[in-house]
């Protein structure tokens, strides 16, 4: 299958557009891998795939970023593919509002590295120490593939929890992030309807059928969006009946009238 890849507004020093796989953020890998270097590495692999570049990792890195490691993107590291992996975001530490916050950021980075390396070793993979190692790990995880010098990526990236043994708290976080991403289009359409069509009233009575006609999203997607706004963000409350009593989004039927406050 062809990779689902989109252009980004970023460009290499050679002026060529850089690409990133559409499923990269939705998959949850940015939460698992070293954030900045993993993104630049997957951009390299995505660009090689989208532009149908040929050659090994070094060859495509030269074609995408140029042949001077010092001109490689800052997020990749000052030594290009040989850059050591940075698990700690130094800029985040510098921007910390207190020594305690800086210490917490440092501790979180140390914990992140520990469970990620442990998960990779449990899967029979080496813990990466450089960007080159990270790219090799991505290949073995099925994020990208090079065959006869041609790079490719699957239409849907493997989910981290399907290929690695991750902490349960992290698995729950990944699933929550995907749920939020799944409801975002319907939520955006719903809020646009409330703001621009209805004039952002303090409260209004509606039905799922009316909201479906207004937004173009089905009842299931709308229930998910309403539930997220009511239970996760607390931006709205849902009521039904006289006198009004709170109701869960999952209990709303297509034609039942309810109040959004």
pLDDT by residue (tens digit) across 54-97? 999 999 999 988 877 666 677 788 888 999 999 998 889 999 99
- 96 and 213 housed in the same domain: no
Query: In the prediction, which pLDDT does 233 show?
Result: 85
Domain count for the chain: 2
What is the block-wise mean pLDDT of the chain (261 residues), using blocks of 10 residues? 58 70 92 92 94 93 80 78 92 92 95 96 96 97 95 94 94 88 88 92 92 91 89 89 88 88 93
- 35 and 118 housed in the same domain: yes
| pTM of the shown model | 0.77
- 24 and 95 housed in the same domain: yes
- 241 and 150 housed in the same domain: no
119, 141, 166 - which closes a domain: 166
- 161 and 185 housed in the same domain: no
- Which residue in 22, 54, 242 sits closest to 151, CA to CA? 54
d(CA 70, CA 82): 11
- 203 and 89 housed in the same domain: no
- 251 and 195 housed in the same domain: yes
- 191 and 95 housed in the same domain: no
pLDDT by residue (tens digit) across 12-37? 555 568 899 999 998 999 999 998 89
- 139 and 225 housed in the same domain: no
- 228 and 120 housed in the same domain: no
Q: Assess whether the previous peptide bond of 235 is cis (omega < 30° from 0).
A: no
Cα of 63 vs its chain's centroid, Å: 26
Q: Backbone dihedral region of 10: left (phi > 0), alpha (psi from -120 to 50 degrees) or beta?
A: beta
- 158 and 180 housed in the same domain: no
Q: Which residues contact 58 (CB under 8 A, 6 or more apart)?
A: 81
As given in the structure block, the two tokens for residue 42 are 């997957």
DSSP calls for the chain: ----EEEEEEE-TTSPEEEEETTHHHHTHHHHS-HHHHHHHHHHHHHHHHTT-BS-HHHHHHHHH-S-GGGS-TTT-TTGGGPBP--S-HHHHHT-SSHHHHHHHHHHHHHHHHHHHHHHHHTT-PPP-BHHHHHHHHHHTTS-EEETTEEE--SSPPPHHHHS---HHHHHHHHHHHHHHHHHHHHHHHHHIIIIIS---S-EEE-HHHHHHHH---HHHHHHHHHIIIIIS----EEETTTTEE--GGG--SS--EEE-
166, 201, 218 - which closes a domain: 166
Query: In the prediction, which pLDDT does 242 show?
Result: 85
Query: In the prediction, which pLDDT does 114 show?
Result: 96
Domain of 125 in residue numbering reads as 5-166
166, 196, 227 - which closes a domain: 166
- 161 and 235 housed in the same domain: no
């Amino acid at each position: 299958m062809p990779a689902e890849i989109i252009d980004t507004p970023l460009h290499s020093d050679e002026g060529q557009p850089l690409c990133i796989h559409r499923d990269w953020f939705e998959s949850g890998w940015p939460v698992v891998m070293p954030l900045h270097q993993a993104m630049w590495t997957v951009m390299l692999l995505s660009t090689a795939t989208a532009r149908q570049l040929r050659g090994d990792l070094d060859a495509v890195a030269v074609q995408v970023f140029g042949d001077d490691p010092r001109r490689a993107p800052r997020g990749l590291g000052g030594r290009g593919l040989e850059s050591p992996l940075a698990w700690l975001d130094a800029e985040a530490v510098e921007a910390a509002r207190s020594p305690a916050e800086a210490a917490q950021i440092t501790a979180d980075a140390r914990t992140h590295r520990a469970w990620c390396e442990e998960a990779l070793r449990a899967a029979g993979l080496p813990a990466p120490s450089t960007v080159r190692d990270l790219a090799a790990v991505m290949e073995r995880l099925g994020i990208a593939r090079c065959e006869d010098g041609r790079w490719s990526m699957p239409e849907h990236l493997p989910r981290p929890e399907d290929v690695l043994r991750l902490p349960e708290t992290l698995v729950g976080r990944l699933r929550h992030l995907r749920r939020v991403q799944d409801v975002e289009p319907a939520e955006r359409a719903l809020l646009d309807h409330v703001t621009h069509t209805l004039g952002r009233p303090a409260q209004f009575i509606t039905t799922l059928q009316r909201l479906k006609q207004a937004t173009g999203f089905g009842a299931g997607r709308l229930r998910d969006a309403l539930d997220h706004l009511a239970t996760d963000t607390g931006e709205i409350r849902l009521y039904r009946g006289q006198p009004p009593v709170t109701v869960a989004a999952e209990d709303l039927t297509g034609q039942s009238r309810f109040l959004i406050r």
